[in-house]
Amino acid sequence: MKELLHIKGKRGTCIENVDWRIFEGENWAIFGPNGSGKSLLCSLAAGEAGMAFCEAMECADTLEGNVALASFRQQQALQQANGYLQARYHSSADDDAQTVRGFLSFNAVHGINPFAVGKHHAKARRAFKARFSSIAEALGLAALLPRDLISLSNGEMRRVLVARAILLEPKLLVLDDPMAGLDPSRRETMKKLLDSLASEGIAIAMACRSEDELPSCINRRLHLGGNAHISPPDTPLQRATPPPPRDPSSPPVVEICHLTLKFGRRCLFKDFSWTVCEGERWVVRGENGCGKTTLFSLISGDNPLAYANDIRVFGARRKPGAALWRIRKRIAGVSPEEQGFLDPGISAIDTVLSGRYTIHGEIRPVSRTERKKAGELLRKFGIGKEAASMQFGAMPSGKQRIVLLARALAAEPDLLLLDEPCLNLDEPARAEFFAQLAGYIAAHPRLAVVIIAHRADHIPSSFQYTLDL
């Protein structure tokens, strides 16, 4: 068999023990704990990371210019290009924002100037059109094509990035955690597509966290780190057992009354009402794009439509001109979008402390005691003093997520909104997060917590209520 790629890690790096060779006919799954180098290895395979990490790297002639990558880092870069976290809720059909159709066009995918004169690439364009139709159908992208790129949910964006990589028609397709953020049905769709691509002769290398995420075409596995652990197969999300009766003395934290919300022809909510009371712990679930993250944005006030609907948080209804931060400073959370917008140049410990706001939305001064507590919290999550001083943007995505979890708890909120908090976390990191969250809830029994999750093993056992969207 012909060797396609050889990567040997350099001593002193997180992949120093890696000596990885990909041969024709092989499709690889890369496993490993957070920080073991999965994303780095994917970037190296795609030619997007420097040789400073490699003792040796050899690529077959057939792979030159024929490797495509889809990763969470790309998703972060696209978010940052839009300037601010709430941009997705302020876009409209009149904006100049790029649409999904434009992002996946022949010119955009291949980096061609659309104003070039002449009928260039006519044959390639016809082939691309047929390929585009096939991939869009396989990934269920038809409804997404007219939408602005910045309006997509985390799972929707992941599918679009995978589609873009496939449209490059690579010989080697490298996917960094492609199933993260996908609902169960979309995971199965993705697996079928990857099996189809493998049958066409495309080599696949994918970093993942659970065996149940693997398509059947995977025939080789690379385990990184000394204590790599593979999660058990996923179990279907079941409806929660009948929740305990509500304590009538518990005041409501969130009240949404008869919400109807439309974006063009797309109706996310119709006469929707929901109440979350003090001390309650809710799981919100549903297919990608059904409105889970939008629901959180209405509660937090990031979405301007929160001011046009009957939505009360801590008993107060937001009205035009009302101060956002009087309510917002009592809310903390984690989301894939927020991960992409935090300042990448500050340290991990300063990122944790950046979640403390005044009623005017300013980051309030931090005392020496608070800094010490933040360091202790990071250590509980397995991030020591040296790592705590590391720049947030230089950390692996899984470590970034742990810092965000610590940031949310350090803010001492009254309402905790967790949008897929276990995304990018391996099983030991999830177990540690669950333990820290359980301890925090026990110490703050009036805290209300709402979590969005697509997997049963991403839900803490103490959550009693379920909202299906």
* CA angle at 400 for the pair 397 and 404, rounded to the nearest 5°: 140
187 and 276 belong to one structural domain: no
Identify whether 238 is part of a domain.
Answer: no
Domain boundary among 223, 243, 270: 223
| Residue 438, domain extent | 252-468
Counting the structural domains of the chain, the total is 2
Identify whether 229 is part of a domain.
Answer: no
218 and 261 belong to one structural domain: no
Amino acid identity, residue 110? Answer: H
| 3-class DSSP assignment, residue 289 | coil
275 and 421 belong to one structural domain: yes
Amino acid identity, residue 122? Answer: A
**Following DSSP, what letter does each residue of 201-248 receive, concatenated?**
T-EEEEE-SBGGG--TT--EEEE-STT--PBPPP-PPPPPPPPPPP-T
Identify whether 247 is part of a domain.
Answer: no
Which stretches within 94-236 are classed as H helix?
100-103, 106-110, 122-138, 154-167, 184-199
298 and 394 belong to one structural domain: yes
**Following DSSP, what letter does each residue of 330-349 receive, concatenated?**
TEEEE-HHHHHHS-TTSBHH
Domain boundary among 176, 203, 223: 223
Identify whether 351 is part of a domain.
Answer: yes
258 and 160 belong to one structural domain: no
148 and 189 belong to one structural domain: yes
Say if CB 418 and CB 385 are below 8 A apart: no
135 and 277 belong to one structural domain: no
Identify whether 230 is part of a domain.
Answer: no
344 and 215 belong to one structural domain: no
pLDDT at 227: 40
Identify whether 241 is part of a domain.
Answer: no
* CA angle at 116 for the pair 112 and 117, rounded to the nearest 5°: 145
pLDDT at 358: 57
398 and 440 belong to one structural domain: yes
| 3-class DSSP assignment, residue 223 | strand
339 and 394 belong to one structural domain: yes
Q: Which position has the token pair 């610590």? A: 406
139 and 256 belong to one structural domain: no
Identify whether 164 is part of a domain.
Answer: yes
Q: pTM to 2 decimals?
A: 0.69
Say if CB 149 and CB 78 are below 8 A apart: yes
8 and 116 belong to one structural domain: yes
DSSP state of 64: T
Identify whether 92 is part of a domain.
Answer: yes
Rounded to the nearest 10 degrees, the angle between the axes of helix 122-138 and helix 154-167 is 150
pLDDT averaged per 10 residues in sequence order, the chain, 469 residues: 88 87 92 86 85 84 89 81 58 66 92 68 88 93 90 88 95 92 90 95 91 92 62 42 70 93 81 93 88 90 86 85 74 84 87 73 77 90 88 86 89 91 83 87 92 88 87
Rounded to the nearest 10 degrees, the angle between the axes of helix 154-167 and helix 184-199 is 10
CATH of the domain at 429: 3.40.50.300
